[in-house]
Amino acid sequence: MKAGILTGGGDCPGLNAVIRAVVKKGHTLGYNFVGIRDGWKGLLELSTMPVTAEVVSGILPVGGTILGTSRTNPLKKSEDTDKVFKNINALGLDALICIGGDDTLGVASKLFDMGVKTVGVPKTIDNDLCGTDFTFGFDTAVSIVAEALDRLHSTTESHHRVMVVEVMGRHAGWIAVYGGLAGGADCILIPEKPFDIDEVCACVNRRTAANKRFSLIVAAEGAYPKEVSGIISKDKTLDAFGHAKLGGVGEFLAVEIEKRTGHETRHVVLGHLQRGGSPTAFDRILATRYGIKAVEMIRDGKFGRMAALQGAKIVDVSLHEAISKTKTVDMEIFGIAGVFFG
Ligand code: F6P
């Protein structure tokens, strides 16, 4: 068995832990692996690297991906799709392990339909893939947001300000809700629930009336006010999968809050800090379990499927199901976070 392994889309803490687990488990079954560089781009350009036991040694706690990544869509042009098939044959791959979010796994799913033996591993800090309770990388992002909120609390309180913290989360506000809950946010805004700017201001004013002289508001980058139709995006260009580059809701809101309440307001964009660095212990373990499962799926001929966490168990679900829709925030947990709003 010779399998290719690639990491696509935005990077995410825990990618290297998956790669390491795949290679170590695979070797116990006599499998060999080829590392495809930079996601689907590497398959188009036949850019590969060896992923031996030596190469993966020591990478468990290392952030990013030793394989590199990109947001290349190899199915956009038919000549590229032909190249993918040609290069899979040229490399002599019997299977392909695709570690990615909805875009990368969407390609893996389509390639499976076209006859390629793909298996998927769910990666995204956004935690928005269906069929799995958690994607790896999410826990690390939440921990980073919680730590940032702890730090922002002290400076915001000292200056009696309002602080708007913009976090990642395109179509789903998982990071905002879990990070905000862990960091004691006074208001959390998510893409699933367009917000009313006056209600956000009312939350700030209620806190002032209750002698709380500061407020910490967490907004997912995909959150938007009812008054504006659709997401706020400063950069109007689209990526290869047609996604808008988000960003700007924090700044927008800070200006509006200061204007409407008279409270001095600042904003912070946590951005790619949420994706960088070493994975948490939870993500290292989850990523390792996913890597082991990916190899077991190949062994058992379970192609067109994705490793998934359901409860405490690692299972497999169809790639079709995983990418069928965006897994939006569970309103029960959002309700819990809401108990602590101003
Ligand atoms: O898809 C994961 C994600 O981190 C989103 O939350 C965010 O909008 C996007 O990637 C940022 O992408 P890039 O690294 O291309 O700017």
pLDDT of the residue at 243: 84
Told to judge if 139 belongs to the known catalytic residues of this protein, a careful annotator would answer no
Atom of ligand 1 nearest to the CA of 272: 14
Q: Report the separation in Å between the CA atom of 265 and the middle of ligand 1, taken as the mean of its atom positions.
A: 26
Q: What is the mean pLDDT of residues 26-31?
A: 98
Residue burial 187-197, b: 16+ Cβ < 10 Å; e: rest: bbbbbbeebeb
Q: Which of 102, 103, 126, 128 is catalytic?
A: 126
pLDDT of residue 240: 87
Q: Measure CA 56 to chain center.
A: 23
Burial tier of 110 (Cβ tally within 10 Å: 0-12, 13-18, 19+)? middle
Query: In the predicted model, is pLDDT for residue 22 greater than 80?
Result: yes
Ligand 1 nearest atom to the CA of residue 274, by list position: 4
What class does CATH assign to 2-136+279-322? alpha beta
Q: Each residue of 58-116: pLDDT tens digit?
A: 999 999 999 999 999 999 999 999 999 999 999 999 999 999 999 999 999 999 999 99
Span from the CA of 169 to the centroid of ligand 1 (angstroms): 8
Q: Residues, the chain, total?
A: 342
Question: Domain 139-276, what fold?
Answer: Rossmann fold (3.40.50)
**Ligand 1: residues within 6 Å at CB?**
10, 101, 124-126, 168-170, 221, 246, 275
One-letter amino acid of 87: N
Tell me the whole-structure pTM to 2 decimals: 0.97
The pLDDT > 70 percentage for the chain reads 100
Instruction: Determine how many CB atoms are found less than 10 A away from the CB of residue 116.
Output: 20
User: How sure is the predictor about 247, in pLDDT bands with cuts at 50, 70 and 90?
Assistant: confident
Distance (Å, whole) CA 191 – CA 250: 13
pLDDT in tens, 194-243: 999 999 999 999 999 999 999 999 999 999 999 876 778 877 788 888 88
> Residues 290-318: pLDDT tens digits?
999 999 999 999 999 999 999 999 999 99
Query: Within the chain, which residue ranges are assigned CATH 3.40.50.460?
Result: 139-276
pLDDT of residue 246: 85
Nearest ligand 1 atom to the CA of 275 is: 4
Residues of the chain with CATH 3.40.50.450: 2-136+279-322
